[in-house]
Amino acid sequence: MSKLNINSEIKKIEKRLEQSIKSHDKVLEAASHHLFSSGGKRVRPAFVILSSQFGKEMNEDVYRVAVTLELIHMATLVHDDVIDKSDKRRGSLTISKKWDQNTAILTGNFLLARGLEHISNIEANRVHAVISRAIVEVCMGELYQFQDQFNGHQTITNYLRRINRKTALLIQLSTEVGAITSGADAKTVHNLKMIGHYIGMSFQIVDDILDFTSTEKKLGKPVGSDLMNGHLTLPVLFEMRKNETFKQQIQQLNSETDHETFVKLIDQIRNSDVIAQSQAVSDKYLNKALHLIDELDNEDSKSLFKKLIKKVGKRNV
């Protein structure tokens, strides 16, 4: 394979994404375009393209999968914002805030349907089976997150299972299906699947740390949004484990709790060593991914892969 230019590949995906969200219905198109144009790192398509470098060839199926997984990801973001009643996403108004809740739900459904339509020409049944199973799991992850809102009795195992379904799975899918569609052998497919899983876990833990340590401008939403929405992430669970008073305060939170109480708890987390502790867990996952990348062939793509995931592990947003 010729040397990969990941930036030009992502530009190709962007063009295809823009085409795929066109609709006869102007509201659906405008709402989809609103989310599309608000940015996004296109992490999933990047991992599909990169993983395809360890197979026999880059082909049309690889591009189709890259677009599909980004559309599915976009659909989950829209539905997530509805569940969380979020006003902002990446610094812009959410679809439910700019339009209304019904439009947001339908836009999410539209993006998911467009994603599935985009891979309808792929003949390999395995691709469809793997993606369909993953969508079911992602839905379960969303449901568990909803059921665990303000649940002060959940464990770190609960949290890890939830982020595996909610975030890691789509990144795992990107690396796995990128390898499958390019004709990689079984061992390579398995290794890439595990690499995607480890990257996804690390990625979400970093996100959960940044929710406390970053700024509203960088996050595009208020600092501590997760806690205010009742999502107890790794830094909170670590702090609960070591501080009984904090644990009791968390267990008393609900959607009616006043803003000041949240601000105090968020500040406590920001200034605690649980941030470093959480980062260490993220680094462990990232190191597992790096170790497995070393076992792959194709030196150029390996170093590109490492650069990309180190960026993910240490990003500020």
Q: How far is CA 166 from CA 8, 72, 91, 134, 140, in A?
A: 29, 12, 22, 10, 8
- 101 is a domain residue: yes
Which residues sit opposite 93 in a β-bridge? 88
- 112 is a domain residue: yes
- 39 is a domain residue: yes
- 82 is a domain residue: yes
Task: Give the separation between CA 255 and CA 219, rounded to whole angstroms.
Answer: 22
- 1 is a domain residue: no
Amino acid (one-letter) located at 281: V
Please classify residue 277 by burial: count the beta carbons closer than 10 Å to its beta carbon, then call 0-12 exposed, 13-18 middle and 19+ buried: middle
Radius of gyration over every alpha carbon of the chain, rounded to an integer in angstroms: 20
pLDDT of residue 317: 40
pLDDT of residue 123: 92
Token pair 């295809």 is found at 16
- 148 is a domain residue: yes
Q: For the chain (length 317 residues), average pLDDT per consecutive 10?
A: 79 95 95 91 93 93 96 94 87 93 97 95 94 93 89 94 93 96 96 96 95 89 91 97 95 94 96 96 95 90 86 61
Phi then psi for residue 89, to 5 deg, are -145, 120
CATH number for the domain spanning 242: value is: 1.10.600.10
Number of domains in the chain: 1
Can you give the pTM of this predicted structure? 0.93
- 118 is a domain residue: yes
Residues 6+ apart with CB under 8 A from 224: 211, 212, 262, 263, 265, 266, 269
Q: Is-contact 134 170, C-beta < 8 A?
A: yes
pLDDT of residue 308: 83
Q: Is-contact 199 312, C-beta < 8 A?
A: yes
Please report the sign of the dihedral spanned by the C-alpha atoms of residue 72, residue 70, residue 16, residue 54. Answer: negative
Q: Which domain holds residue 92?
A: 6-314
Task: Give the separation between CA 309 and CA 307, rounded to whole angstroms.
Answer: 6
- 34 is a domain residue: yes
Q: How far is CA 32 from CA 78, 88, 282, in A?
A: 9, 15, 32
